[in-house]
Amino acid sequence: MTNVTAKKVLMVLTSHDQLGDTGNKTGFWIEEFAAPYFVFKDAGFDITLASPAGGQPPIDPSSELADFQTDDTRRFDNDKDAQAHLATTLVLSDVNADDYDGVFYPGGHGPLWDLTDNSNSIELIEQFIQQNKPVAAVCHASAALLNVKNSDGSYLVKDKAVTGFSNTEEDAVQLTDVVPFLLEDELQKRDADYQKVADWHAFSVQDGLVITGQNPASSSLTAQKLASYINA
C-alpha cells in the first residue's frame, strides 16, 4: 500500500537511442538514473518514471561497461522491482506537474536529441516552476532546461547559476563533432551563469528552484539537493 503522505517525485528519461549518424547507440546513462533513484527510494519518496515514448527507455550501452559501474548501478542490477519499474515508464504527455513535488532529469546523450525541444517536457517544467516546485537535471539533461521560459517570456536559465556536461568533457569522450550542440555553449547563449569544475569531478549547483549537476559523478549530489528541497 502506498504511503499517502509520501513525497512524490517524477523522473523523466530520454527515449532517444541513436548517437547522431555514427550508427552507435545512446540513451540515458545508467548511473545517472540509478543513483538518484535510490536517493529518492531511500528517502521514502513515491517515484514515477516517464519518457517521451513510454515503456523501457534506452540505456546507453557505454554506461554499462565495467569501468562505469558504481554501488548504485550494482544495486540496480540486483533489484528486480527497480528494473520492472524502469521497463514501464509512463508516456511523458500523460503526466501532470500537479501530481508531484519535484522532477529529476537523468542525463546521457539521448536528452540532447529528444528532450531539448520536446513541447511536453518544456510545458511540464514550466508548470513545476509556476507551482514553485523544484526542477533538477544532471549532465546532458540540463539541455531540457534550454527552451523553458518564465511567465514573462524570459529563458528560465537566464542569469541563473547552472551546470551541465562541459565542452572539455564532451571533447574527452570524443563526441564534440557528433552531438547536435555543445551544452555549455548553449547555456551561455541563454545568458545562464554557467559554472563547472574540473572534468569528471562531482559538482552540483542550486539557484532557486533549479538544481543542476555537471556529470555522472554529480548525479547523487544533485538528487540529494532535490530531496532536501522537497523535504524542507
The grid coordinates listed for 144 are: 531540457
Q: Would you state the pLDDT for residue 5?
A: 83
Rg of the chain over all Cα atoms, to the nearest angstrom: 16
Residue 4 pLDDT class (50, 70, 90 cuts): low
Distance in angstroms (rounded) separating the CA atoms of residues 127 and 7: 18
- In sequence order, the β-bridge partners of residue 37 are none
What is the Cα–Cα distance from 78 to 185, expressed in whole angstroms?
38
pLDDT, tens digit (0-9, with 9 covering 90-100), for 135-165: 999 999 999 999 999 999 999 999 999 999 9
Angle between helices 30-42 and 219-231 (to 10 degrees): 30
Say if residue 136 is exposed, middle or buried (CB neighbours under 10 Å; 0-12, 13-18, 19+): buried
Residue 211 pLDDT exceeds 90:
yes
What count of other Cβ atoms lies within 10 Å of the Cβ of residue 171?
13
* 3-state class (DSSP) for residue 68: helix
CB 192 within 8 A of CB 157: yes
pLDDT digits (tens, 9 = 90+) for 103-114: 999 999 999 999
Percent of the chain with pLDDT over 90: 98
Give 30-74 pLDDT, tens digit per residue.
999 999 999 999 999 999 999 999 999 999 999 999 999 999 999
Using a cut of 0.95, tell me whether the model's pTM lies above it.
yes
CB 209 within 8 A of CB 103: no
Amino acid residing at 80:
K
